[in-house]
Structure 1
Amino acid sequence: MHRATKIVATIGPASSSPETLFQLIRAGVDVVRFNFSHGTAGDHRQRAEDVREAARGNGREVAIMADLQGPKIRVGKFENGRVQLTAGEPFILDAHCELGNEARAGLDYKDLPRDLKPGDMLLLNDGLIVLTVERIVGDEVRTIVKVGGELSNNKGINRLGGGLTASALTAKDVEDIGTAMAIGADYIAVSFPKSATDMVTARQLANIAGAPFGAKPKMIAKIERAEAIPELQGILDASDGIMVARGDLAVEVGNAAVPALQKRMIRMARESNKLAITATQMMESMIHAPVPTRAEVSDVANAVLDGTDAVMLSAETAAGKYPVETVEAMAAICVEAEKSEHVELDRDFLDRTFTRIDQTVAMGALFTAHHLGAKAIVALTESGATALWLSRHSTHVPIFALTTRAASERAMALFRNVTPLASETSSDRDQALKQAVELVVSKGFATRGDMVVLTVGEPMGQAGGTNTLKIVRVGNPY
């Protein structure tokens, strides 16, 4: 069954064995996320080799996404590993405290006292604990516990409404970008960007690190700071896509604001010809249970109907008991949701101006395939740009992108409704089109008598050169 929505799965202790990786990719994983908050460069290198081998074993390519840790805005460690905070009691966040106790906690982010003022609300451990800032005394933030609970080592800190000044890129991130390029990462996800400048800087660093390998990764901005919301268009323009990172974002802007923001961000990404990933707690219960809750099923389905390119799994596959079953369940939900997806291609094209020939051909292919009832759209592409434009509009016609470049094939693994395929394309146009249709037929996507819409560029092999649209019926001469 063709599935348009892609699945990103995080690799961790529960899923890093070669056998489990093979099963995950067979179950439907399209992009493997490496969380650079954990593991060494050696760990990432070995896992990258295992991922590539598992993908080859499944006869396909998957993308690798390196997710940078970003600034550590966290409490430090405690003498006994954890403390119990009681509502109404004082509690101090101390930039110079080595080991915390019931009265105070240390800080990984030493500049926190300079970012705060009396009356600010601090949310710890994903908002489960709430502190009210009373006053700042030197390097101490003196607070009153508003909502208590258990606080353990290294839990995160957010300020309600945002406003923390920590840079999106740390020294560790710069080092990790080098590791990511050395292991052949196709995407780099930047944590906590506040503006387009953060993404431009990250891209420059990635391009420099990737130069010895001839690689330029695609950049994903994780939208998880309140300050990023008013800067969203600029961040989109400077990125290849965004991740709707609902965890930290919800803590800063409030849970109730996130669903509408999710829809807005996905819509803006599609309108800007960018990618969108929906993340955080999508199948959280499956960390411990073999089936998802009905609420989780609805959450995934609604993200699909919003038009997200991909849905993402974090702890569910990294540390959960049922990583493969979780991917299988998520894939089934996506397929079912896509059946009811409403297509409005004609309306999508109203009031749109296309200034590039290759983009105009892509839009023509979508319109033609939709109205003629074609079984497939086949794009012969070098860079993947044509496939990206095709994927920005909802259609029930599967898109197959044939490329001679392995890097393009892996990058397109994240594009909604696009199945990337490796092709040793002939330099002769008619022969290349014939080979393209034969490949799609051999994969079982079309049969004799089916109509197929093809796009190709002449001269062959040049990125950005798509200039031809052809309609063929399988089995007829070219």
Structure 2
Amino acid sequence: MQRSTKIVATLGPASSTEQVIETLARAGANLFRLNFSHGAHEEQARRVQAIRSVEQRLGRPIGILADLQGPKYRIGKLDAPLSLEAGQQVCFYLPDQPAPELDGNIPAIPLPHADIFASLEPKSTLLMDDGKLTFTVTALGAHHAVARLHHAGRLSSQKGVNLPDVTLDVTPLTEKDLTDLAFALDQDVEYIALSFVQRASDILDAKSRIGGRAQIIAKIEKPSALTEIDQIIQATDAVMVARGDLGVELPAAQVPAIQKQLVAKCRQVGKPVIVATQMLESMITSPAPTRAEASDVAGAVFEGADAVMLSAESAVGDYPEQAVAMMAEIACAAEAHVQDNPHDGPARLAVEPSVYHAVAEAAVRLAQTIEAAAIVAFTASGNTAVRLARERPSQPLLVLSPEPAVERRLSLLWGTQTAHQDETSYEQAVDEAVALIKQRGLARTGESIVLVSGMPFGLAGTTNALRVVTI
């Protein structure tokens, strides 16, 4: 059974050599993530070169995702770690401004981010050290904030800061991100992941800078993004449910429902969606996952996610190959269950009111009705494949495109197998598709396949023609 759910594997110290990258690709990785929070450009360039070499050797497209760090907030340097009591007040201050006059019992903590002080309000929440410490603002000055600690804890230098109920007046693209973005685009990556997206305008600004050279993945990490989520999904090319920071800024109990909602919303409008963070976390140090982790991966498959992602498991873990192989095995088992029990899979979607979507939905229904062996899509832009994948067909979906960049982008899209096809006439394209279907063993003599294309043939953006061919 061909696996439909794609796997994104993060590269890092445990997985940077060409040999290991090929091992991960053979184990099931469809797309590789480069984390620009770590690693110099020279190191990332070597990884890109290794991926392209593996791609050529394996004879199948492999996508590359450049994940930008985004704005990261940390407290400054402390003279010594602070042991804080529940209910204790502290003062956060901007280090380059005159220090506020404080009661001698109130510890002063440097917070070198003017944009935070500009956005704070009374009763705002600040989380420190991945949510281990929670503070509520009780008083504000121009360059300082007094806050009360909820539970006792220890705070040391350079710990991360999260602001769950504050919308910061900042762009998600820092100076570092702009430098990394220019480098990533020069490397011809397929996707740029934008961290800490808060509003649709963040996506539109990034798109204007990228100029169509790569597609954008909006990482949903802040509660403020959820208030404008429909507009964000509409503006972006794909979405990542980044459960790490999202789980810090929101109660953990809320994250599963938000994940389910985001996957459903993305499916409705045909935007690929990745479920990420801690999916097989125990496999950083263990060769086997916990049962809960297996259920987590399967749950994402049952919801209809296009892809599931490995982070530290493949980047720094002791068992990167086993983590990819296990994720593939779990996804295959979940998909096989859905094949036999369709009601346990993602719900059928309402047809979008357009000719293109209606033709894609009709193609999938036609393939099911006549029990076709496969669906073949001809696409110059990838849009036909996206519309078909949105319907989650039970038949294999083979996508033929003359554009290598489109083939690589489709490595993220649910259910797609891809192949290169030079620009040619429609009849020649059909003959080549039939030959490829036979070569890949997707259909036998006497079986039918459904062909989906746009007319005039080769014109990007159209999906308006169906045809049934008997092998």
What TM-score comes out, normalization by structure 1 length? 0.89
**1:421 partner amino acid:** A
Aligned length: 459
Question: Closer, same or farther in 2 for the Cα pair 1:313/1:383, shift >3 Å?
Answer: same
Which deviations, in whole Å up to 9, do the C-alpha atoms of 1:258-312 show, x marking residues without a partner?
1111111111111112111111111111111111111111111111111111111
Which deviations, in whole Å up to 9, do the C-alpha atoms of 1:37-73 show, x marking residues without a partner?
1222222222111111122222211111111111112
Q: Percent of pairs identical after alignment?
A: 39
1:131 aligns with 2:135: yes
**2:37 partner amino acid:** S
Q: CA RMSD in A?
A: 2.4
- Equivalent residue in structure 1 for 2:408, among 402, 407, 410: 410
CA distance in structure 2 between the aligned counterparts of 1:401 and 1:422, rounded to whole angstroms: 9
Paired residues of 1:130 and 1:148 also in contact (CA < 8 A): no
- Equivalent residue in structure 2 for 1:279, among 276, 287, 310: 276
**1:301 partner amino acid:** A
- Equivalent residue in structure 1 for 2:235, among 228, 238, 243: 238
Which deviations, in whole Å up to 9, do the C-alpha atoms of 1:291-334 show, x marking residues without a partner?
11111111111111111111111111111111111111111111
Which deviations, in whole Å up to 9, do the C-alpha atoms of 1:187-222 show, x marking residues without a partner?
111111211111000001011xxxxxxx53111111
CA distance in structure 2 between the aligned counterparts of 1:170 and 1:130, rounded to whole angstroms: 26
CA distance in structure 2 between the aligned counterparts of 1:297 and 1:371, rounded to whole angstroms: 34
Paired residues of 2:124 and 2:165 also in contact (CA < 8 A): no
CA distance in structure 2 between the aligned counterparts of 1:34 and 1:189, rounded to whole angstroms: 10
1:49 maps to 49
Paired residues of 2:242 and 2:276 also in contact (CA < 8 A): yes
Q: Secondary structure at the match of 2:328?
A: helix
CA distance in structure 2 between the aligned counterparts of 1:237 and 1:441, rounded to whole angstroms: 38
Which deviations, in whole Å up to 9, do the C-alpha atoms of 1:418-467 show, x marking residues without a partner?
11222235x23222112112112212333333321112334433212443
Q: Secondary structure at the match of 1:70?
A: coil
Task: Give 1:165 deviation, angstroms.
Answer: 3.3
**1:187 partner amino acid:** Y
Q: Which deviates more, 127-136 or 181-190?
A: 127-136
**1:413 partner amino acid:** S
CA distance in structure 2 between the aligned counterparts of 1:290 and 1:103, rounded to whole angstroms: 45
1:292 maps to 289
Task: Give 1:343 deviation, angstroms.
Answer: 4.2
- Equivalent residue in structure 2 for 1:177, among 181, 188, 193: 181
CA distance in structure 2 between the aligned counterparts of 1:165 and 1:103, rounded to whole angstroms: 28
Which deviations, in whole Å up to 9, do the C-alpha atoms of 1:360-412 show, x marking residues without a partner?
33222111111222221111111111000001122321211011110000011
Q: Secondary structure at the match of 2:392?
A: coil
1:375 maps to 373
2:257 maps to 260
2:93 maps to 94
Q: Secondary structure at the match of 1:470?
A: strand
Paired residues of 1:378 and 1:402 also in contact (CA < 8 A): yes
Paired residues of 1:161 and 1:253 also in contact (CA < 8 A): no
Task: Give 1:90 deviation, angstroms.
Answer: 4.3
2:417 maps to 419
Question: Closer, same or farther in 2 for the Cα pair 1:267/1:141, shift >3 Å?
Answer: same
**2:94 partner amino acid:** A
2:100 maps to none
2:167 maps to 163
**2:192 partner amino acid:** I
Task: Give 1:144 deviation, angstroms.
Answer: 3.5
1:212 maps to none
Paired residues of 1:97 and 1:107 also in contact (CA < 8 A): no
Q: Secondary structure at the match of 1:298?
A: helix
Alignment of 1:300-311 (within 5 A): 300-311=297-308
Task: Give 1:151 deviation, angstroms.
Answer: 4.2
Paired residues of 1:177 and 1:205 also in contact (CA < 8 A): no
**1:183 partner amino acid:** Q
2:68 maps to 68
1:210 maps to none
Unmatched tracts of structure 2, length 5 or more = 98-105
1:211 maps to none
- Equivalent residue in structure 2 for 1:194, among 193, 198, 211: 198
**1:394 partner amino acid:** R
Task: Give 1:83 deviation, angstroms.
Answer: 5.6
CA distance in structure 2 between the aligned counterparts of 1:126 and 1:33, rounded to whole angstroms: 23
Paired residues of 2:263 and 2:273 also in contact (CA < 8 A): yes
CA distance in structure 2 between the aligned counterparts of 1:394 and 1:448, rounded to whole angstroms: 25
CA distance in structure 2 between the aligned counterparts of 1:265 and 1:349, rounded to whole angstroms: 14
Which deviations, in whole Å up to 9, do the C-alpha atoms of 1:95-143 show, x marking residues without a partner?
3189xxx955433533323322343332122212222334335533333
Paired residues of 1:162 and 1:225 also in contact (CA < 8 A): no
CA distance in structure 1 between the aligned counterparts of 2:316 and 2:93, rounded to whole angstroms: 32
**1:233 partner amino acid:** D
Task: Give 1:20 deviation, angstroms.
Answer: 0.9
CA distance in structure 2 between the aligned counterparts of 1:140 and 1:294, rounded to whole angstroms: 47
Q: Secondary structure at the match of 1:340?
A: helix
1:3 maps to 3
**1:64 partner amino acid:** I
Paired residues of 1:35 and 1:68 also in contact (CA < 8 A): yes
CA distance in structure 2 between the aligned counterparts of 1:13 and 1:291, rounded to whole angstroms: 21
- Equivalent residue in structure 2 for 1:109, among 113, 137, 150: 113
Q: Secondary structure at the match of 2:288?
A: coil
Q: Which deviates more, 103-112 or 278-287?
A: 103-112
